Amino acid sequence: MTDEHDVTRDLMKGDEDISPSEFAADEASEPDFGNWPEIVGVVGTLLLIWFTFAFTG
């Protein structure tokens, strides 16, 4: 079981506070989605703007 203080300290750690090997392990454990979420977000935003002006004038 993890102590609440340890969890808070871990969340407060900046990238410069951890070792390079720990940073590399953390980066490797995160999924890499590439750029498609940003592209989908931009397209969705543009569609929302277009719909807003198309139906409200």
State the pLDDT confidence band at 6, using cuts at 50, 70 and 90.
low
Q: 23: which 2 tokens? A: 């940073």
**Structural domain spans, the chain:** 4-56
36/29 Cα distance (integer angstroms): 19
Segment (H or E) for 7:
helix 4-12
pTM above the 0.85 mark?
A: no
pLDDT tens digits, one per residue of 33-42: 889 999 999 9
Mean pLDDT in the chain? 82
Task: Report residue 22's pLDDT band, with 50, 70 and 90 as the boundaries.
Answer: confident
